[in-house]
Amino acid sequence: MSALVIIPTFNEIENLPTVVAAVRHEVPEANILIVDDNSPDGTGHKADALTGADPFVHVLHRREKTGLGDAYLAGFDWGLERGFEILVEMDADGSHPAHRLPALLGAVSAPTVPGAHFPGLAIGSRWVEGGSVVNWPAHRLLLSRGANAYARLALGISIKDSTAGFRAFRAEVLRGIHLEEVNSHGYCFQIDLTLRVLDAGYTVVELPIEFTERTVGQSKMSKNIVFEAMRRVTSWGWQRRFGAKKTSTV
């Protein structure tokens, strides 16, 4: 099936060529879309150079940095307009193992049981059996585990790593979960889409990965991203218990 790997970038000029090369090696039949948010370090120019050298690599330039969620939504729109059947989220910092891409793509390519709903989303998970994290300090481990535990409790879902950013979607699933209503960012964006896929009746599968903390550049994680996630998850959990099971956009 035709696949598009979407890689958002902001100041990733050192990491980007390595990540793109790894993706091209592991899934040479897939296309890559770099979504650059006008990086001041020249990442956008590096992306242009990569597209000039490889017809499977494309770039979408955005005028400003408005959040990871907005970057992925722009990438989804680009890929859906061009008829790609599977769309993949992947970080540009090297934390997501490219060698797990074939497994993610395979997981959403066919039903797990004949005649059943095909999986709508495959997540590269740090917190299922076999998953792991390398080079994270204790407070990051606690934050990620705590955020996912809170999401499971508040939302009544069983996903172990709903904040994960390494994932593959079927195109028809993305078309059916009202992306135009999504107004979430960071951790919250990933939880939002996970919830929408589940509420649309599709299966979500988690595949173990080894997540490795970046060695070059700076993390984009901030307290505001965490606070947004906590606030929205609390609101969604309240609605799911006492109102309709529909993801909030407020």
**Structure confidence at residue 90 (pLDDT):** 98
The single-letter code of the amino acid at 168 is A
Q: Domain residue spans in the chain?
A: 3-242
Q: Give the 3-state DSSP-derived string for 226-241, with helices as H, strands as E and coil as C.
A: HHHHHHHHHHHHHHHH
On the CB side of 146, CA atoms within 13 Å amount to 10
Q: What is the chain's pLDDT, residue by residue, as a tens digit (250 residues)?
A: 899 999 999 999 999 999 999 999 999 999 999 999 999 999 999 999 999 999 999 999 999 998 899 999 999 999 999 999 999 999 999 999 999 999 999 999 865 555 556 789 999 999 999 999 999 999 889 989 998 999 999 999 999 999 999 999 999 999 999 999 998 876 799 999 999 999 999 999 999 999 999 777 565 555 666 777 788 899 999 988 887 554 443 3
3-state SS assignment for residue 4: strand
* Separation of alpha carbons 23 and 29, rounded Å: 10
Fold topology of 3-242: Spore Coat Polysaccharide Biosynthesis Protein SpsA; Chain A (3.90.550)
Does the global pTM surpass 0.75?
yes
How far, in Å, are 34, 78, 129, 246 from residue 63 at the CA level?
A: 14, 16, 41, 32
Report DSSP letters for 59-117, one per residue: EEE-SS---HHHHHHHHHHHHHHTT-SEEEE--SSS-S-GGGHHHHHHHTSS-SSTTSP
Cα–Cα nearest to 83, from 31, 22, 20: 31
- The model's pLDDT over 45-82, given as tens digits with 9 standing for 90+, comes to 999 999 999 999 999 999 999 889 999 999 999 999 99
Rama region for 197: left / alpha / beta (φ>0; ψ in -120 to 50; rest): alpha
